[in-house]
Amino acid sequence: MKLVKLIHSSLDFFYPLFKRFFDRTTYYYAVCGVSNLVLSWFLFFIFYQFLFKKENWSLPLVNFTLSSYTMAAFLCFIISFSIGFTLLKYVVFTKSHLKGSTQLFRYAVSALITSFTSWILLKIFIETFNFFPTLANISASCIVVVISYLLQRKFSFR
């Protein structure tokens, strides 16, 4: 895969700067994870501000209302899940001997755990502490990063 080789070459170019702090796998994980995270922050802002226009959406058939930040977070989850799994499988944890379907299942479980945790934190930050939703999303993400790393390294792609 040419794209994977290009990503590895790009990452390897900068690796000497971080070699004394991280082993190669952790470095790859950090760069891919941070890139995906920053993309999701950007998308959350765009979805919340412009797509859902900061409005709650009613679902009259089931008498339920969804907040715009919940819908933005869900849409970001779908996108970052796809990108994240692809990067981790083909760029970061390339030496895993687990079948792709097993990796995907485990990644899905860990992604659901971290996304649910992030959503709970998002609600707490917005509804209890009155954070601006984009700031709440960034704050929740920073807390969840540690949980996510441990789940990916020790469970999904071991």
59 phi and psi, to 5 degrees? -115, 90
Give yes or no for a contact between 139 and 121, defined as CB atoms under 8 angstroms apart. Answer: yes
Per residue of the chain (158 residues), what is the pLDDT tens digit? 799 999 999 999 999 999 999 999 999 999 999 999 999 999 999 999 999 999 898 888 888 889 999 999 999 999 999 999 999 999 999 998 999 999 999 999 988 998 999 999 999 999 999 999 999 999 999 999 888 878 777 877 77
Rounded to two decimals, the pTM is 0.84
Distance CA(142)–CA(36), nearest Å, equals: 13
- For 44, counting Cβ atoms within 10 Å of its Cβ (0-12 exposed, 13-18 middle, 19+ buried), the class is buried
Residues 17, 57: Cα–Cα separation, whole Å: 47
Question: Do residues 35 and 51 lie in contact, with contact meaning Cβ atoms separated by under 8 Å?
Answer: no
